[in-house]
Chain A
């Protein structure tokens, strides 16, 4: 016996984001360090910064997440960066390292 069934899987919104161009090197670049304020994520990105500072002369860092000063991205626990914040961040850094506890 043959039985015809309908697919339960939904069509998806067709949305594509091409990857940003990669850097040719990290020397002298400003690297964003984003932790989403879940436990230990700040330690993880700080450890990355430690290594980058040792390997690449002149590298600088901007930290995001946990910074509650006015005018900074309003990042709080587990919150995703929105488009407006990403636009602001893009004016401040050349690349971004992010971490979540999970």
Chain B
């Protein structure tokens, strides 16, 4: 709606009350903290018409009022600071009392500069040490992070990395993850501000995994000292999303309930045990190069499979867990999703979603022993995971031209009248992102991807 105001048209928006802080956070970022919106008690999704009418009726006078007068500014609590200023410093007094030991955390919490868990104090010395983990200049800007349009400088990223407990040798992985988010097809704006419960997962390949101490075996995504690098890198990305992107819980981040995965997810492929080529080679890297891939996901769903003995049984079991009604499978036939970037809301179409399937090495071995390559497995899933055309057509209008011809996949239009017709759930096989890691057992974890994907090289220090 700010775009409409920018074009000179007074605008008023209607939003659910629980999204009021999120809305305010977004319009702050879009440069109009006094943008007009009125709230209704509940989201309208799935509500009966009469109930929506009742909610709107109660606000109609306010809506009219907002078209004829400008409200006082409700937002901009965090006034923008122009770039290039010296990083603000604060002095915090500590002592041996319980409160004194926690002084830094309380200071940060009062400003909403934390994920809610105690952090390491970002002292200048600790940040300097972190910056030794990269050759990039401290004031280099990797991206403008939404919804707050914060400048992700190397130094700010380093400060958040210190807070998360990262070590300098892990810093290049974090920087590469942010390089991924900077790519438009990641659609990081929607990842940040959606009410959907979703979070970025960082997938690491190449020699950097060992160098950074990332666990790629048993328990790698769980708690524990052996997983401290995984935890710290994942957490550091979340702190950047909060403190650089201004995606604060309940404000920029309006997830309806959140997910524990939002605290951070980072894992490396178990390249030593996997029978297949590492994932970064699928993306054009050499085996001895290091790369980071980021995907936005919800879930995971654990796929338990103690019985499959053949590659087809294994894949059938995985495929059976992936799609459910109304979740958007087959949506590609209506055209690709678009990310929107910057204050102009420029659209960038991208292929998505990508669904990471975290495959235990033993599951990959079953397939490899049967002569199935990773690409064979992806083709199998692509061919066998299908959705009915009838359900796609029932889920919303198909974009058409003036003659009623489908705009995006006219070659499939003849299927519209066939009640038995099905199409692949995803547009292409590589959207089944098979990533072999963890302990070697009869499990897999399926993450439902929500947007695009990006892979970036890791700086060699």
Contact = CB atoms under 8 A, between A and B. Distances in A.
B44 interface: yes
Interface in B339-375: 340, 343-347
A32 B190 CA distance: 25
Interface of B: 1-16, 19, 22, 29-32, 34-36, 40, 43-47, 49, 52-53, 55-57, 60, 63-64, 67-70, 78, 80-85, 87-95, 103-104, 107-108, 111, 113, 121-124, 127, 144-145, 148-153, 156, 159-160, 163, 190, 194-195, 239, 243-246, 254, 335, 338, 340, 343-347, 396-402
Contact of B156 (A10, A74, A82, A101): A10
Interface residues of A, number: 69
A6 B87 contact: yes
B401 A70 contact: yes
A55 to B, nearest CB: 8
B243 A8 contact: yes
Contacts of A11: 80-85, 150-151, 153
A80 B5 contact: no
Nearest to B15: A100
Contacts of B399: 68
Contact of A86 (B4, B60, B103): B4
Interface in A31-90: 32, 34, 37-41, 43-45, 47-48, 51-52, 55, 66, 68-70, 74, 76-83, 85-87, 89-90
Contacts of B402: 69-70
A51 B57 CA distance: 8
A102 B104 CA distance: 35
A70 B46 CA distance: 29
20 contacts: A5-B90, A17-B31, A19-B10, A19-B32, A20-B8, A26-B64, A40-B52, A43-B49, A51-B56, A55-B64, A68-B399, A74-B347, A82-B340, A82-B345, A83-B3, A83-B346, A95-B67, A96-B11, A98-B13, A99-B13
